[in-house]
Amino acid sequence: MKVDTMLEARNLVEAAENARVAEDMGFDGLWTVEAQHDPFLPLATAAPATRRVSLGTAIAVAFPRSPMILAHIAWDLQAYSGGRFILGLGTQVKAHNERRFSVKWDSPGKRLREVILAMRAIWDCWQNGTKLDFQGEFYQHTLMTPFFSPGPIEHPKVPIFIAGVNPYVARLAGELCDGFHVHPFHSPKFLRERLIPDIETGARKAGRTRQALELSTQEFMAIGESREEIAEVREKIRQQISFYASTRAYQPVLDVHGWGELSARLGRLAAQGEWQKMPAEINDEMVDTFSVSGAPDEIAAKVKERYDGLLDRISPYFPPRTPQDRERWRGLVRELQG
């Protein structure tokens, strides 16, 4: 199992330093998110600061950028990092697309499929000189002159990961992608019974197997030297679970466990702004279902048992930030990789 971490930073200088530290700690890969900062720029500063780790987005929101813009960003980061870049894309949800990014929300699954196919057509044009003639329902790319083509690079195979929960996106990943970002709000039961079978269905369509993809996730882990420390982290996890579970798109994860009605109840509380009441709806059984808890010398074995045969890459949902956390994770990385 590969062990990754999130690349967090307040600015680009700090991103480079944090990337150096994470590589020194033994992590296999670094991921950025589209939240307070652009997801791509920190990777541009991390690339020259590191030699070994993969550098990827988990995720960048696909639709605010055209396939051509995404293709250029990915091509440059792949070349600059010496082939270590992973382009992780997601659709996000309707409200964020329309109200945060001000872009149209229309057939997101089919549109994401076209983004992937369009980028690969563009990359093929740049690498092999083929005529650019992508004609889709949502995107058309038919013009590429030498002035605008960056030309071939040493590592032209840019891995594409996508993220999601619904069956269409999972099947799309199985058919077309190199990896899948499993949402942090999941359980092994959901992976076995819903997500991985859908990925396998898509893979069979393309004559592949599930092993053609890397499955990655951020895992909720309550790690502590004492019961009190573990309990404190579990409360943070409880709060985050309540937030995710209030979104209707994630109800299938609850449905697998017979807790589907919780989504509507939490959704009503969220709509009323009653955020402080939401964690109380998440009982200890739910926390145990969606996370792992234990002392530092126990957690690696628990994670391996939980995900054996299911996932290929894992990141802590709460990345190490303090010197104590970083020292703890030096040992955990080796244990999880072993």
Question: 258 with 156, same domain?
Answer: no
Residues 254 and 325 in one domain: no
pLDDT of amino acid 93: 87
Last residue of a domain, one of 257, 277, 293: 293
Nearest to residue 306, comparing CAs of 187, 201, 196?
Answer: 187
Mode of pairing for the β-strands spanning 140-141 and 134-135: antiparallel
Q: Tell me, yes or no, whether 35 and 116 share the same domain.
A: yes
Sorted by sequence, the CB contacts under 8 Å of residue 98 that are 6+ apart come out as: 104, 105
Domain, as residue range, for 279: 226-293
Query: Same domain for 183 and 219?
Result: yes
Q: Please tell me whether residues 46 and 90 are part of one structural domain.
A: yes
Residue written as token pair 């409200």: 95
235: nearest Cα among 182, 181, 177, 276: 276
- Tens digit of each residue's pLDDT, the chain (338 residues): 999 999 999 999 999 999 999 999 999 999 999 999 999 999 999 999 999 999 999 999 999 999 999 999 999 999 999 999 999 999 998 999 999 999 999 999 999 999 999 999 999 999 999 999 999 999 999 999 999 999 999 999 999 999 988 999 999 999 999 999 999 999 999 999 999 999 999 999 999 999 999 999 999 999 999 999 999 999 999 999 999 999 888 999 999 999 999 999 999 999 999 999 999 999 999 999 999 999 999 999 999 999 999 999 999 999 998 888 899 999 999 999 98
Among residues 293, 314, 329, the one where a domain terminates is 293
Q: Which of 293, 311, 329 is the last residue of a domain?
A: 293
- Smallest CA-to-CA distance from 207 within 161, 179, 175 is with 175
Q: How many domains does the chain have?
A: 2
Q: State whether 45 and 124 are in the same domain.
A: yes
As a whole number of angstroms, the distance between CA 156 and CA 168 comes to: 27
CA atoms within 13 A on the CB side of 293: 20
Measured in degrees and rounded to the nearest 5, phi and psi for residue 40 equal -90, -40
Pair (330, 232) in one structural domain: no
Give the closest residue to 296 by CA, choosing from 240, 254, 335.
Answer: 335
Whole-number pLDDT of residue 338: 84
CATH number at residue 50: 3.20.20.30
Cβ distance 84 to 55 under 8 Å? yes
Nearest-angstrom CA–CA distance, 242 and 229: 20
Rounded CA separation 66/141 (Å): 10
Contact 54, 86 (CB under 8 A): yes
14 and 161 together in one domain? yes
Q: Are residues 160 and 76 in the same domain?
A: yes
pLDDT recorded at residue 304: 95
* pLDDT number for residue 115: 98
HSE (side-chain half, CA atoms, 13 Å) at 247? 17
Backbone angles phi, psi at 91, to 5 degrees: -85, -20
Same domain, residue pair 74 and 131 = yes
If asked whether residues 271 and 148 sit together in one domain, one would say no
Q: 317 and 178 in one domain?
A: yes
